[in-house]
Structure 1
Amino acid sequence: MASEEKLMSKKKPAFPISEMLNEYLKKHNRTIKIPIFYDDLLRFQGSIVVYDKNDEDTLWVRTYYSEFDRAEIDNSLKKIYTLLHSDGNDDTIPFLNIDAIDYCTFGNSKPFRVKVRNILNDNYTYFYVKKTDASRVYGLELEHILSPQNMNFLVYKDTLIEEHIAGIPGDDFIKDFLPKCTESEKAQIAKEFVKFKERCFVRLLGDMRSYNYVITPTHDFDHIVYKIRAIDFDQQSFEGNLKVYNLQFMKENFKMVEMVGKKLQNSSILQYKIEERSFMAKRMITAPKRTAHLIKCMKNDTISFPENVTQLKQDLINYVGDIAFKKNQNMGEILETILEFVKRNYLNISTK
């Protein structure tokens, strides 16, 4: 199994939001004026390490601000919460409390995680404040269009607000929960992993190591249904190495890959891959204008390096044997070629 050092290239830069992408975001109600920016949250005066229930470092730190800054920041974050989850009405703000503002010291995006609590009933949720990156925005939108889940996020200038995606982090699930699952549950998780793997691979979402996705268990009558969701979209259509988009080459996923080999026959794996591609094709067909508009933005944008585009084209030609990729000049065109193939193949099968 290849190592991440060989799979991943140098650190990915943040790409700016183009004018065309910004117009797309406006059209689809993804942008709205917000009262605070990412850089404002960097004004914290100090921090303490956040530990988990096992007293292990979570790589998050809890920030604290001056009394004056904190009052202003808290009020602005409450406003953002109402914009993200409601209509921005200020009537609910008196019932909200900002319990914590945590800063992540690990990874590319270095996000802030904001814990918001309703003081009337103690229910709480989170949202994230990040630096805007075109790759991440394309990743979020593609997830919204092509996956079974809707994504809730807002972009304003250089700040990105993301809704929290609930679930058990993949690495924690593999370590603490997977060994306790029944054989039937493991077979169901294996099926979901194949579908998730195919979805990420087809839409070129890279670096899906186990801590970049969550597993959500839902009770349904007499059994538990498991779903897998991506939570990190930084590596959307950036890397040149095709293996970066294939979960099985990440060592953190080895136990999941091993379980798929034990629980599923090759014919079942192929069936689940076809099912996922068909689902993605249906999503594109039901929202053709939105899909086409987003791909047009990508085709006119720069979200990778020329050498990555060249390598990925060649890797795809070697993998699928289709020379159509030779004409592609950027990541948007490569993704368009893949998605058109998926849609065309579905239409050919469904009309037989």
Structure 2
Amino acid sequence: MSEADILFKKPTYPVNKSLFDYLERFDRISKVQICYDDLLRFSGSINVYDKQDQDTLWARVFYNEFERNEIDLNLKKIYSLLHSDGNSDILKFLHVDSIDYCTFGNSKPFRIKVRNILNDNYTHFYVKKADASRIYGLELEHILSPDKINFLVYDDTLIEEHILGIPGDVFMETLLNKCTETEKAQIAKEFVKFNERCMIRLLGDMRAYNYVIIPIHDFDQVVYRIRPIDFDQQCYEGNFKIYRPQFFKENYPMVRLVKEKLQESSIEQYKNEERAALAKRILSAENRIKRILKIMGNDLIAPQEYVDQLKMDLYKYTNDLNFKNAKRMGHVLSAAFKFVTRNFKNANLFKPGF
């Protein structure tokens, strides 16, 4: 059992009209009529294995010819909307190589592989059941992260682009020990920042397989970035530790790396840098942030007992009355953002708490 233990499977929360209107305002609504349930009508499947002949927990699914033709066409249209302007001229150059289905986790996604037949380049995207928590998480990632993310919603279906990178658990198992000491120190710094970022924006369940490590070649060195790839636990859990990746046992190699490579003063410095970066992004997108937080504040995306537990944990952590007065998860997140931006404006980044 990890210190940040998730006890129950999270339910799916519907997309309400206010959120749907917001998505429409910012061009997140798909013009292509495709539903998650359409993809469930597969007639057969086989397990997908990796290069080491290990079961990936994905199943490659097959459809009868009539349904496959219609599904393929709509999936190619979705690809065009995600990665281009929706122009149908490119469809003749696209081929749907595979459709995989995963029963692991909450979202039970379909993974679509689309290949350009002119040059054999390919990319993936995912089709899932639309869930308000996940959509809020994706939108906040787009606004507050240096990495933008494309996604679309159609009715009760969510389409997400694939986020490139090496899954955290795979990286720790196969590549971390091969890194130089300098690279390990840089990875430790990034994990500190990632931990702080998830805590402030209340993105939970960042176990090792829910984020990716991205190596970037820069002149004569390789630097690493960490990005979340699962947004299911945005503002849901009542346990504050769920929003702090450091408390998951799956992340222990990263936590150990931080202890070995960074001094306390450096850890505080990197935390402050991340708070400042987030504060700047919140302030630069203030109107959009206010709009999405207002919708979240009126939306039911977590049990009330979770809201009450989390807001009191954060009140004890920060002594900020805005947390204590929060009524829903959207208000808790709004209080967190106000706390960070207020401290940033006051140039008091070294205050204990967030």
For structure 1, the 5+ residue unaligned runs are none
332, 335, 339: which one aligns with 1:334: 332
Q: Secondary structure at the match of 1:138?
A: helix
Question: 1:245-264 alignment to 2 at 5 Å?
Answer: 245-264=243-262
TM-score scaled to structure 2, two decimals? Answer: 0.97
Letter of the 1:125 counterpart: T
Aligned to 2:138: 140
| 1:225-246 alpha-carbon deviations (Å, 9 max, x no partner) | 1000000000000000001001
Structure 1 residue ranges, 4+ long, deviating more than 4 angstroms after superposition: none
Distance 1:7 1:86 in 2: 41
RMSD: 1.2
1:35 positional shift: 2.5
1:218 positional shift: 1.0
258, 275, 278: which one aligns with 2:276: 278
| 1:295-327 alpha-carbon deviations (Å, 9 max, x no partner) | 011001010000100110121122223333221
Letter of the 2:196 counterpart: E
138, 144, 153: which one aligns with 1:155: 153
1:334 positional shift: 0.4
Aligned to 2:194: 196
For structure 2, the 5+ residue unaligned runs are 350-354
Q: Secondary structure at the match of 2:347?
A: helix
Contact map agreement 2:189 2:270 (CA 8 A) in 1 = yes
320, 323, 331: which one aligns with 1:322: 320
| 1:58-117 alpha-carbon deviations (Å, 9 max, x no partner) | 111100111111111111100110011111111010100000000011000000000000
1:33 positional shift: 2.2
Say if 2:194 is the partner of 1:235. Answer: no
| 1:195-229 alpha-carbon deviations (Å, 9 max, x no partner) | 01100010000000000000010111000010000
Contact map agreement 1:199 1:277 (CA 8 A) in 2 = yes
Say if 2:126 is the partner of 1:128. Answer: yes
Say if 2:154 is the partner of 1:166. Answer: no
Contact map agreement 1:147 1:199 (CA 8 A) in 2 = no
Letter of the 1:65 counterpart: Y
Contact map agreement 1:35 1:80 (CA 8 A) in 2 = no
TM-score scaled to structure 1, two decimals? Answer: 0.97
Letter of the 2:342 counterpart: R
1:128 positional shift: 0.4
Letter of the 2:184 counterpart: K
Question: 1:27-38 alignment to 2 at 5 Å?
Answer: 27-38=25-36
Distance 1:282 1:145 in 2: 11
Aligned to 2:106: 108
| 1:27-54 alpha-carbon deviations (Å, 9 max, x no partner) | 1111122231110000001111101110
Contact map agreement 1:146 1:280 (CA 8 A) in 2 = yes
1:147 positional shift: 1.3
Aligned to 2:50: 52
